[in-house]
């Protein structure tokens, strides 16, 4: 009877300790769930409007993406799906190293290897996206050098629009992107285009009559759309006011707002290039005003010297593209014509031709430009090439949304076991 009593008493102690351990375990689990910081779900975060590869080369790939809110973001990337050990930030944040908030984001994956698959994921508003992949093309020879395209972006108050995205799209080809400078000026090299054929990408050329679309998106998400051909773009001063749309193909509508202000039969002026402007093209457009149907003599102090005579149209306009091209350097253009009284009028203008690929920061000046149902303004140009090495970051990555790290589960289990064992020994 005595041993039986001890046996049943001991069993009751073990049963009580197990119950206590279970209660403590449940309490700890509930406590962890309640105090764990909430992680934003994908449903409550701004969603992508679009994400597309741009500026693809064998050693670098750009990613352009948009969100429906103004926010900051980064992209992690690498060759290993499980080790995205490089970081790309927005090109507009490279100088300040501080994350800016944008509706449109442009980041470059750099120092890549040709013909290699890379994995990447975006991080914005506290959430990592799903990992995606992209492949760099093989090394290819550059197509013969061609003229860049360039222009100036203005705000509605005619002030330069800085950090504005210029997205260049052409059917069948992967898009190109650049960013306007402090002066509102931008430049894109169009020496080659990457075409997508099913799952493959390859290098292809284009022609002067190829139709394109330029989307201009400022930091507030305001957009302008410009449609045209290379020929139309090369024959006009490309100044665009953000918020207005332009069609460069319709030749009946190529006057800019500023041009209309200065255009009169009595005006004699050099519209383009502007005084002390810096031009990234070696065959720039020259444009001016004189009396209607009058002869204009133009000379440039280049080596060899560039001279030509041209007659104005019935509106007093004249324009010409320098050919052959002029080497990089500083020049003076001289214009001579007659006024209404037959007196000779001489105008002079200083300008510079930039070296190919050279980075320039210019000053925007309002003036003539092409347009459709809108008021464009001003010409001037400046390259917008930017190359910076991606920042290396630790390989450890934050937890994926909605998941608890393994170390937390391990520690919680260990605590529960220790408490349970302690209670058993206590009883």
Q: Which residue has the tokens 């139309």?
A: 232
Contact 104, 91 (CB under 8 A): no
Q: Which segments of 290-384 does DSSP mark as H helices, in order?
A: none
Residue 74 CB partners (closer than 8 Å, separation 6+): 87, 88, 89, 99, 107, 122, 123, 124
Q: Which residue has the higher pLDDT, 257 or 276?
A: 276
Count other Cβ atoms within 10 Å, centred on residue 257.
Answer: 19
Q: Is the dihedral of CA 233, 237, 238, 244 positive or negative?
A: negative
With 80 as the cut, is the pLDDT of residue 237 above it?
no
Q: Tell me which range, 87-91, 94-98, 368-372, 415-419, is most confidently predicted by mean pLDDT.
A: 87-91
With 50 as the cut, is the pLDDT of residue 70 above it?
yes
CA distance readout (Å), 167 to 104, 108, 216, 409? 11, 14, 6, 47
Report d(CA 300, CA 349) in Å as an integer. Answer: 10
The full 3-state SS of 409-427, as one line of letters, equals HHHHHHHHHHHHHHHHHHC
Scored b (16 or more CB within 10 A) or e, 92-131 reads bbeeeeeebebbbbbbbbbebeeeeebbbbbbbeebbbee
Contact 9, 415 (CB under 8 A): no
Report d(CA 87, CA 264) in Å as an integer. Answer: 55
Contact 385, 94 (CB under 8 A): no
Q: Please, what is the Cα angle at 398 between 78 and 127, to 5 degrees?
A: 90
Per this entry, what is the length of the chain?
A: 427
The packing angle between helices 2-35 and 406-426, to 10°, is: 150
pLDDT at site 258: 39
Looking at every residue in the chain, the average pLDDT score rounds to 70
Give tens-digit pLDDT for 212-233.
889 999 888 888 888 888 777 7
The phi, psi pair for 346, rounded to 5°, reads: -120, 125
Residue 90 CB partners (closer than 8 Å, separation 6+): 72, 73, 99, 100, 102, 105, 106, 107
pLDDT at site 117: 92
Report d(CA 111, CA 389) in Å as an integer. Answer: 7
Give tens-digit pLDDT for 342-378.
888 888 888 887 764 443 333 333 333 333 333 333 3
Q: Which of 122, 109, 181 is nearest to 389 (CA)?
A: 109
Q: Which residue has the higher pLDDT, 107 or 367?
A: 107
Domains of the chain: 149-353 (2.60.40.1220)
Report d(CA 70, CA 76) in Å as an integer. Answer: 20
Model pTM greater than 0.85?
A: no
């Amino acid at each position: 009877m005595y041993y039986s009593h001890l046996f049943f008493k001991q069993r009751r102690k073990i049963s009580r300790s197990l119950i206590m351990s279970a209660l403590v375990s449940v309490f700890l689990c509930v406590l962890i769930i309640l105090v764990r910081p909430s992680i934003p779900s994908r449903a409550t975060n701004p969603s992508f409007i679009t994400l597309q590869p741009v500026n693809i080369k064998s050693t670098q790939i750009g990613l352009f993406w948009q969100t429906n809110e103004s926010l900051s973001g980064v992209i992690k990337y690498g060759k290993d799906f499980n080790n995205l050990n490089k970081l790309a930030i927005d090109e507009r944040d490279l100088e300040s190293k501080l994350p800016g908030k944008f509706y449109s984001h442009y980041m470059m994956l750099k120092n890549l290897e040709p013909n290699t698959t890379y994995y990447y994921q975006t991080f914005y508003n506290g959430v990592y996206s799903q990992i995606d992949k992209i492949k760099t093309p093989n090394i290819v020879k550059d197509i013969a050098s061609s003229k860049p395209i360039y222009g100036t972006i203005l705000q509605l108050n005619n002030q330069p629009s800085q950090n504005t995205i210029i997205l260049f799209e052409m059917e069948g080809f992967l898009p190109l992107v650049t960013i306007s400078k402090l002066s509102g000026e931008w430049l894109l090299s169009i020496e080659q285009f990457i075409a997508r054929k099913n799952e493959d990408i390859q290098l292809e050329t284009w022609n002067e009559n190829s139709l394109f679309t330029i989307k201009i998106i400022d930091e507030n998400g305001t957009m302008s759309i410009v449609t045209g051909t290379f020929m139309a773009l090369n024959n006009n001063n490309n100044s665009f006011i953000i918020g207005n749309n332009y069609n460069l193909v319709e030749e009946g509508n190529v006057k800019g707002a500023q041009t209309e202000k200065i255009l009169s039969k009595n005006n004699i002026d050099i519209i383009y290039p502007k005084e002390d402007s810096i031009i990234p093209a070696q065959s720039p457009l020259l444009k001016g005003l004189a009396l209607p149907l009058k002869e204009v003599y133009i000379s440039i102090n280049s080596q060899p010297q560039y001279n030509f005579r041209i007659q104005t149209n019935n509106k007093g306009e004249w324009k010409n593209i320098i050919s052959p091209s002029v080497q990089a350097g500083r020049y003076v253009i001289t214009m001579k014509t007659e006024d209404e009284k037959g007196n000779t009028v001489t105008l002079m203008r200083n300008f510079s031709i930039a070296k190919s690929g050279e980075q320039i920061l210019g000053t925007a000046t309002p003036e003539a430009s092409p347009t459709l149902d809108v008021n464009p303004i001003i010409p001037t140009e400046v390259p917008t090439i930017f190359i910076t090495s991606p920042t290396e970051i630790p390989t450890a990555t934050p937890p994926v949304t909605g998941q608890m790290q393994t170390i937390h589960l391990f520690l919680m289990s260990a605590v529960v076991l220790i408490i349970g064992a302690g209670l058993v020994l206590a009883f």
